[in-house]
């Protein structure tokens, strides 16, 4: 007797299942955002810089949404946004030292403006948005390896995020830091680092003459740093009892929720490059020399 075939899809395959719909929404949003980022990245340092500026302004608003009970277009936000904008434009068209100086001046202004109401939080917001933005622009402008260096950081973070999500969902197991982020697991972290190492191997095969061990260790380190950035942003939201930085990205939350790994990886990536060779940080990040 031939087995009858059920016309009912299994719950995990049912396209109306909330988890499936969420995954589809996250995928569409991620592909769209990733496509915009790559288009600007390949278009050159200036188009990429303006995209960084646009995302940074949204993140300034989201920072206020988290730390100031809804934020809004208040004076603190305006100073925050102007400070970050001036620093980014200075990084695009002038020396990085000027960009950092403008960021510091804006930080002092925010301290004065919020002297009676948690000035440290406002200054931290300017640094959290401004420093990684400057780092990305400086790396992209470091020729001739700027494009590849930023692609390397993006690939490490994106692959790590996807692997952490899948590892946490499919493997589960012990929680990584439940008091900060109850959904993150050690399996997710290990999956993220493994994916980052694979990215390092792919870039080594592309670059050809880069030291393999260095590039694998660099990718693994940036992968860990990116996951720490994710945890740090989760801790900030938990401190202020906010679930998402905003609801601007369907299925993901806000731009801060998606940029948390890039924020830390970009800063550490530039720092590594500058420590190795301050004249060519992008090449130094990829080659270790």
pLDDT of residue 99: 95
Q: What pLDDT does 69 receive?
A: 67
Q: Indicate the Cα dihedral angle 186, 190, 192, 193, nearest 10°.
A: 140
Q: What is the pTM of this model?
A: 0.89
Residue 17: which pLDDT band, with cuts at 50, 70 and 90?
Answer: low
* Rounded Cα distance, 132 and 60, in Å: 13
Which tens digits make up the pLDDT trace of 151-200?
Answer: 999 999 999 999 988 887 788 778 877 878 878 888 889 999 999 999 99
pLDDT of residue 21: 72
Q: Whole-angstrom Cα distance, residue 175 to residue 178?
A: 6
Q: Are 111 and 103 in contact (CB under 8 A)?
A: no
**pLDDT tens digits along 239-284:** 888 888 887 877 667 899 889 999 999 999 999 999 999 999 999 9
- Secondary structure (3-state) at 197: helix
Round to whole Å and give the CA distance between 187 and 164.
Answer: 7
| Whether the Cβ atoms of residue 23 and residue 13 lie closer than 8 Å to each other | no
Residue with tokens 């440290």: 120
pLDDT higher than 70, residue 83:
yes
Closest CA to 19 of 165, 191, 180: 165
Q: Is 177 helix (H, G, I), strand (E, B) or coil?
A: strand
Helices 146-170, 255-276: inter-axial angle, 10-degree rounding: 130
């Amino acid at each position: 007797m031939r087995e009858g075939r059920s016309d009912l899809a299994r719950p995990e395959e049912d396209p109306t299942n909330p988890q499936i719909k969420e995954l589809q929404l996250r995928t569409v949003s991620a592909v769209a955002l990733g496509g915009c980022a790559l288009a600007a990245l390949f278009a050159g340092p200036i188009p990429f810089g303006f995209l960084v500026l646009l995302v940074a302004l949204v993140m300034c608003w989201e920072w206020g949404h988290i730390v100031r009970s809804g934020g809004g277009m208040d004076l603190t936000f305006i100073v925050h946004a102007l400070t970050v904008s001036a620093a980014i434009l200075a990084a695009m068209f002038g020396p990085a030292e000027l960009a950092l100086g403008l960021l510091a001046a804006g930080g002092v202004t925010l301290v004065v403006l919020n002297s009676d109401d948690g000035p440290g939080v406002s200054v931290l917001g300017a640094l959290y948005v401004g420093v990684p933005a400057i780092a990305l622009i400086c790396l992209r402008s470091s020729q001739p390896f700027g494009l590849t260096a930023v692609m390397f950081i993006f690939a490490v973070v994106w692959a790590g995020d996807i692997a952490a999500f899948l590892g946490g969902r499919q493997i589960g197991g012990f929680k990584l830091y439940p008091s900060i982020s109850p959904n993150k697991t050690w399996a997710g972290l290990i999956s993220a680092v493994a994916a980052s190492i694979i990215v390092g191997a792919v870039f080594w095969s592309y670059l050809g003459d880069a030291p393999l061990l260095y590039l694998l260790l660099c990718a693994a380190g940036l992968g860990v740093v990116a996951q720490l950035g994710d945890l740090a942003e989760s801790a900030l939201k938990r401190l202020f009892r906010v679930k998402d930085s905003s609801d601007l990205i369907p299925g993901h939350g806000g731009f801060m929720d998606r940029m948390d790994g890039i924020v830390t990886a970009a800063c550490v990536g530039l720092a590594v490059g500058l420590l190795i060779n301050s004249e060519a940080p992008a090449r130094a990040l990829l080659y270790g020399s």
